[in-house]
A = this chain, B = another copy of it.
């Protein structure tokens, strides 16, 4: 299944001005850039996601003749530089955490090593393509945890920030354990189960709710009926009436509540259905739900069998961005870093090790890549010389399994919806601390 092609000019203009300068200076040596989040507000962990989209982009990266014409029209680039861009491809090496790996602040999710111009050009797109799936996977896993094994379906296509966000979100949420998505294009593109039956407008378009239900089950007998268009419990009674009229032909599998006091309505609906001998009809809930609302409903004992979750997760409403950055950590074999307040970066190529005790992760160590640390390395080579390695694209099922296994190994306190009183310990290795201190000293001597 092909993804949408990312336009080559989807980049910040400064990437191109820097490229022209690098080229003029002959600075085309190998550069190393890390992608990481500086902080983790409102989350106890992140889940790395979006690697597949990054690799698709890097493999197909090419500047077209039409792109060159536009850049020429800006009047700020040299003709020989524009010709150079025409031939530019991504030939670098990429290390990354597998999709679905739990990750923490300052840990590289992905490292790009490539000749400086290539590594610099792709900054904007790589960050964009990795940031959003990681953002929504890290939000969405809270919903599947709150739902305690009940089915969750992504309903967020209409208010996600654009079409490709909605599609990328459906994919990320399937990795974190969502049962499916309402988004047909995401289903087509990634083989995700699609779900959906009927909206309020269908009920409204008919002269009465009862008529709309009867008509819809004539077409889709095993459907879920939406019962809250006018009055939720009246709606449930209409479903019960329909069951009486249809007898053995009644196959409706569920009713959906989408507004009002969902806990009270679910209890009342369950009582009506059970009383009518319809215990096989399940109750679905939707309507502005997030992980906290779901946890509260279940804590309240609401008899809800599944959830449709929309906007709050597709836009990660409580924290709609990560403080994610793409930072130069080495150029031409020399460590690089940044000392700006609040934006310090760790120098040099790195590896992240997860330290295990039995089957439990007890902490991570961010280390130099060439350093020997006991623990499980989380960054793997996924692309070499611009070509994706077969192991880099395990498929959605394998990513789901990888995520589930990784979550199982995390301390239970991180799996709470509130901030863990004791955060997961992430250490910086002695060798990396020494490198950082050398870098700071070097710079302070410089100025």
Q: How far is the CA of A48 from the CA of B446 in the complex (A)?
A: 52
A260 contacts the other chain (CB 8 A): yes
* Min CB–CB distance A49 → chain B (angstroms): 13
Contact of A25 among B20, B70, B215 (CB under 8 A): B215
* Min CB–CB distance A329 → chain B (angstroms): 9
CB contacts (< 8 Å) of A207 on chain B: these are 446
CB contacts (< 8 Å) of A338 on chain B: these are 200, 204, 229-230
A218 contacts the other chain (CB 8 A): yes
Contact of A7 among B163, B200, B443 (CB under 8 A): B163
Contact between chains at B199 and A18 (CB < 8 Å): yes
A244 contacts the other chain (CB 8 A): no
Q: Given known contacts A198-B18, A230-B447, A447-B209, is B165 in contact with A161 (CB within 8 Å)?
A: yes
A240 contacts the other chain (CB 8 A): no
Q: How far is the CA of A131 from the CA of B183 in the complex (A)?
A: 17
Closest to A327 in B: B201
* Min CB–CB distance A97 → chain B (angstroms): 19
CB contacts (< 8 Å) of A324 on chain B: these are 158-159
Contact between chains at B17 and A342 (CB < 8 Å): no
Q: Is the interface of A mostly helix, strand, loop or mixed?
A: mixed
* Min CB–CB distance A82 → chain B (angstroms): 13
Q: Which of A14, A124, A162, A200 has the most CB of B within 10 A?
A: A162
Contact between chains at B10 and A215 (CB < 8 Å): no
Contact between chains at A120 and B339 (CB < 8 Å): no
Q: How far is the CA of A362 from the CA of B67 in the complex (A)?
A: 47
Q: Given known contacts A13-B196, A158-B131, A164-B164, is B321 in contact with A234 (CB within 8 Å)?
A: no
Number of copies: 2
CB contacts (< 8 Å) of A218 on chain B: these are 21, 24
Contact between chains at A161 and B315 (CB < 8 Å): yes
Contact of A162 among B165, B187, B229 (CB under 8 A): B165
Near B by CB (< 8 A), chain A positions 129-160 give 129, 131-132, 135, 155, 157-160
CB contacts (< 8 Å) of A339 on chain B: these are 229-231
* Min CB–CB distance A52 → chain B (angstroms): 14
Contact between chains at A161 and B132 (CB < 8 Å): yes
Contact between chains at B328 and A74 (CB < 8 Å): no
Q: How far is the CA of A166 from the CA of B168 in the complex (A)?
A: 14
CB contacts (< 8 Å) of A166 on chain B: these are 10, 128
A95 contacts the other chain (CB 8 A): no
* Min CB–CB distance A416 → chain B (angstroms): 24
Contact between chains at A20 and B219 (CB < 8 Å): yes
A223 contacts the other chain (CB 8 A): yes
CB contacts (< 8 Å) of A24 on chain B: these are 215, 218-219
Contact of A200 among B158, B165, B317, B328 (CB under 8 A): B328
A356 contacts the other chain (CB 8 A): no
* Min CB–CB distance A196 → chain B (angstroms): 3
Closest to A316 in B: B320
Contact of A9 among B129, B185, B228 (CB under 8 A): B185
Contact of A259 among B158, B168, B216, B343 (CB under 8 A): B343
Q: How far is the CA of A337 from the CA of B200 in the complex (A)?
A: 9
Q: Mark A4-36, 1 if CB is under 8 A from B, else 0.
A: 101101111111111011101101000101000
A47 contacts the other chain (CB 8 A): no
Q: Given known contacts A166-B128, A340-B259, is B321 in contact with A159 (CB within 8 Å)?
A: yes
A220 contacts the other chain (CB 8 A): yes
A292 contacts the other chain (CB 8 A): no
A202 contacts the other chain (CB 8 A): yes
Near B by CB (< 8 A), chain A positions 185-205 give 185, 187-188, 194-202, 204-205
Contact between chains at A21 and B219 (CB < 8 Å): yes
Contact between chains at A158 and B21 (CB < 8 Å): no
A277 contacts the other chain (CB 8 A): no
Known pairs A70-B187, A207-B446; list 8 more (Cβ under 8 Å).
A4-B4, A10-B166, A11-B157, A123-B201, A158-B324, A204-B328, A228-B340, A229-B338
Q: List 6 A-B contacts (CB under 8 A).
A: A6-B163, A10-B163, A15-B199, A27-B205, A234-B447, A317-B321
**Top-6 shortest CB links A-B:** A13-B196, A14-B196, A161-B161, A201-B328, A162-B165, A320-B320
